[in-house]
Amino acid sequence: MSPTDRRTFMIQSAGALSAMAIAPADLFAGSVSRADVSVGIIGAGRQGRAIMAELQRIEGVTIAALCDVEESRLNAAMRRAEGAEPFRDHREMLDTRKDISAVIVSTPSHLHHAPCVDALSAGKHVYCETPLAHTIEDCQFIAQAAAGSKSIFAVGCEGRANPVYRLARTFFRTDAIRDVVRLRAQTNRKSNWRVPASNPASEAALNWRLDPDVSTGLAGELGAAQFDVMLWFTGLMPERVRGWGVNRAYLDENRAVPDTIGLEFTMTGGIRLQYEATLANSYEGRYEALYGVNGAMRLAWSHGWMFKEADAPTQGWEVYANRQAIYGDEGITLIADATKLASQGKLKEGIGLPFPALYYPLADFLKCITEGGTPACGAADGARAAAMGILANQAVRLGETIEFDAGAMQGF
């Protein structure tokens, strides 16, 4: 955005608290009160069951079929979806349940390819969990299949549908942050990543995240959605990445997939994006930070804050904004629909989101089906984010700098 466009935008957005709402009317565009859609879910593990819980918040959604190759997982999911028909093979589900209009793919990442492409071929709308795939080739194939289909294809990069992130991005694209200095993100969680198996035959299938032949590691499984936030906010593209990985928490298991990693991407124009992730410690959790000459943002999925520099120009609305102390710094809380809440004396009640972050991309997908429109994150954007994770994981495993093909990244 040019300086002139930034100034025009801020003038149009000026007024007590109006800039806190910056008020594109679509900040809550992903929210939907009712969607008369019949859904089939392929992949009934932990993420599949979390998706079921969010779909059940929306009136009119029918979970008509569930599919999983693992009987115990399928049975556990069936207990949560009364009336759903169980399947062990996704092709049988697609052939049998012609009434299903939408398919959710929440299988392990390396198994996304077949159900996504088969569902598109069957004329279904498709929502695929992130990362889109575990290889660049699969990303390209799925993206091409989606581009050649008349069906809606959405990828679960949650940031693009998140109301707090949508609001933050409107600020980011004005002089509130201005020129980007650096980017940083992390995911810290205390997690084993190992799933107990009832028999040796299912051990490998259940613990695919720990298999270096199919897993994209922490960079892909945890990082892809956060990399997408940076691509979406900045419009920058990665040029190269270097990384490292070690095992700190599970040394006795001799794991081939590191439980702690660090990455440094060089983005367009030499801007650096630093990323860290660990399964050994949960301190500070998951967030993205974007630093500019006029301010910085810290985004934590359910909450967001903006930190102005002392020498940044005053826009006027900051005087009325709600503030919070975050690790010793005072941040302006990013509150969607702040003007309306302030008029009701409920500004502080608007901090955070009413639903988990997972709800919003699903609601956005359903709204696109029922009302038309383009999903917040389509196949091409999802492929770019997945590719960043895939190549970053290679950098971690090889201990080398990996170059990005600029044409391939733009061409998804």
Domains and CATH numbers, the chain: 31-129 (3.40.50.720), 163-351+377-411 (3.30.360.10)
Nearest to residue 167, comparing CAs of 326, 13, 327? 13
- What are the backbone dihedrals phi and psi of residue 113, each rounded to the nearest 5 degrees, phi first? -55, -60
The Cα–Cα gap between 189 and 279 comes to 5
Mean pLDDT of 253-257: 92
pLDDT at 2: 46
Res. 348 pLDDT band, cuts 50 70 90: low
Better pLDDT: 157 or 29: 157
What is the C-alpha to C-alpha distance for residues 402 and 298, in angstroms, rounded to an integer? Answer: 28
Closest CA to 217 of 33, 356, 396, 13: 396
Q: What is the pLDDT of residue 9?
A: 35
pTM: 0.90
Place of tokens 């500070």: 284
210 Cβ contact partners less than 8 Å away, ≥ 6 residues apart: 193, 194, 255, 256, 257
Residues 253-263 have a mean pLDDT of: 95
